[in-house]
Structure 1
Amino acid sequence: MNATAPRHRILAVDLDGTLLKDDRTVAPEDLAAIREARAAGVYVTIVTGRIASGALPTAREVGIDTPIVCADGAQLVQPATGELIARKSLPGKATRAALTVFSDRRLTPFVLTHEAIHARRGAESLAPWVIGWSPELRLHAPEELAWPELRDVAIVLGIGNRDVAGNALDELGQSLPPSAGAVAFPMGSDEVWGVRVQARGCTKSAGLSALAARLGVRRTDVAYVGDWYNDISAFAWAGRSFAMGHAPQDVKRHANEVLRATSESGGGVAEVVHRWL
């Protein structure tokens, strides 16, 4: 008699506002649920907008050993070693075009490589808006920093007010090469906006799809939980999707189910594990 092949599954969780509570801690019940899922043979991973250096500490803290998806799909990283298994970097032409537009429009630029955030000295006042991507913020004197020579650029970010960000986005639509795209978004305040430039095709769904293919897991056997607009593509791709209770209404409507747990209470991952497994 042939034994039935084991069914491989993936539980993919967003980081900020999902696994990490508002106070940047992991709820004990979520940590226990990750252990329970792993004991049941489920691959548990993180799928986040953070770059690798900003996501690895939490992955290691909760014991995740499956590769994690970072920078909204631009990076696939092995937690134990920090090795970049796969990366999708911005071409130098796109990096230069973005920095030119940001300079012309007086947006403060930040360049996120696969390891750290780079900025010119004087940008410290905006640090609270960017360290969510990574605590590794490296400030340079203007003469020390040759922006186009930075390697492995994952994201070029410009920060300013809403009107300036909108104007920059329009200009980027004309100046970026086809290999790159840009989006504008509020950074937790309607007064402070960011414009993000990234290699085209970098989405959480693309990163999660690549990971599933690598692990030999069917799309229908993937569950995803998140809370924000950049999670919508992963909601659509995963076989089963869950939105946190505090997520905006126009994010919730893209998920299969809405959880009771919020980023204040924690427990969203535990709730998913109990519903799904």
Structure 2
Amino acid sequence: MTLFCSDVDGTLLDHRRSLSDRTVAAIRAVRSAGHAFVLCSSRMPASLEGLERLCGVEPTPLIAYNGGLVLRADRSVVTDVAIAPSDAREAYAVCSRLGLHASFFAGDDWYAWGPDEWTEREATITVVDPSDVSAHDYVASGRVGGQPPHKVMAMGEPALVDELEAALAGRPGVVAYRSKTTYLEVASSACSKGDGLRALADELGVDLADTVFFGDNHNDVSAFAVAGTAVAVANAVDPALEAASVVTGHHREDGVAEYLEAWLATH
């Protein structure tokens, strides 16, 4: 069995931020041939499950939060690496001082800053609604200590996001990733997509040489270093293109499906 694992945004999804019919057909064909196809993203599990349902298949394992949460098909936990509560509180304090929106994600709970444009935009992209509990209540109530977040996502003006990134740079327990000029995603430095891929391959009994990872961005490079075959879409950032062993088509042109179709034709 080959384990195919793909990043979502900028890699697997098309210009509508959805799965094209061609991509769905390719994923189904791979699974029908006895192979695994797993989503790996900074998104929360509920959002990935929504994409999974578009494929019309039974639940499969998931790698959420950039490897911070790896789940089996039955949603039992393989690995769970959250941000330390002290680091989460510091991120909250800096965002409060700067006036940045910050969303805290813990498992399938999303604690948003408030009903603002950033929350609305994220809900539209991920097709998931935030909890009734706000980020402020999540931190103030102490819930952040008992249920620490897997991801903090700060959103706002680029200059303010720059300040947050600089403020967190000295904290060794976290890693910050700039997914857009207006977005900063924060996770535990103890996890990565590469770690997630390694953990899932071990769980499924698949040799890493028999894994294929698709990606486009900086946070995919760790998985490229682990995978047997690293496939970058044509729109990938330079570090990802340089780390890849294969380059396929642009994500807007179904690059992942293009690779899968060619692979199935020769295997």
Q: Find the counterpart in structure 1 of residue 252 from structure 2.
A: 264
Superposition deviation, residue 140 in structure 1: 4.4
Superposition deviation, residue 273 in structure 1: 4.4
Q: Find the counterpart in structure 1 of residue 154 from structure 2.
A: 158
Give me the whole-angstrom Cα distance separating, in 2, the residues matched to 1:224 and 1:215. 15
Give me the whole-angstrom Cα distance separating, in 2, the residues matched to 1:45 and 1:173. 31
Q: 1:69 is matched with which residue: 37, 51, 63?
A: 63
Q: Does 1:228 align with 2:217?
A: yes
Give me the whole-angstrom Cα distance separating, in 2, the residues matched to 1:142 and 1:54. 19
TM-score (norm 1): 0.83
Give me the whole-angstrom Cα distance separating, in 1, the residues matched to 2:168 and 2:7. 29
Give me the whole-angstrom Cα distance separating, in 1, the residues matched to 2:260 and 2:10. 15
Contact 1:157/1:195 (<8 A) preserved? yes
Superposition deviation, residue 99 in structure 1: 1.0
Superposition deviation, residue 217 in structure 1: 1.0
Superposition deviation, residue 152 in structure 1: 4.2
> How many positions carry a matched residue from both structures?
260
Superposition deviation, residue 206 in structure 1: 0.6
Q: 1:245 is matched with which residue: 227, 234, 241?
A: 234
- Structure-to-structure mapping, 1:66-105, within 5 angstroms: 66-79=60-73, 81-105=74-98
SS where residue 175 of structure 2 aligns? strand
Over 3 Å counting, the alpha-carbon distance change for 1:154 and 1:70 in structure 2 is same
Amino acid at match of 1:137: P
Q: Does 1:168 align with 2:164?
A: yes
TM-score (norm 2): 0.86
Superposition deviation, residue 256 in structure 1: 0.7
Over 3 Å counting, the alpha-carbon distance change for 1:47 and 1:149 in structure 2 is same
Segments of 5+ residues of structure 2 without an aligned counterpart are: none
Contact 2:83/2:188 (<8 A) preserved? yes
Q: Find the counterpart in structure 1 of residue 118 from structure 2.
A: 126
- Let me know the Cα RMSD of the aligned residues: 2.5
Segments of 5+ residues of structure 1 without an aligned counterpart are: 1-7
Over 3 Å counting, the alpha-carbon distance change for 1:143 and 1:25 in structure 2 is closer
Contact 2:63/2:69 (<8 A) preserved? yes
SS where residue 34 of structure 2 aligns? coil
SS where residue 112 of structure 2 aligns? strand
Over 3 Å counting, the alpha-carbon distance change for 1:241 and 1:144 in structure 2 is closer
Superposition deviation, residue 85 in structure 1: 4.0
Amino acid at match of 1:43: A
Superposition deviation, residue 108 in structure 1: 1.8
Give me the whole-angstrom Cα distance separating, in 2, the residues matched to 1:9 and 1:258. 19
Higher radius of gyration, 1 or 2: 1
- The structure with the greater share of residues assigned to helix is 2
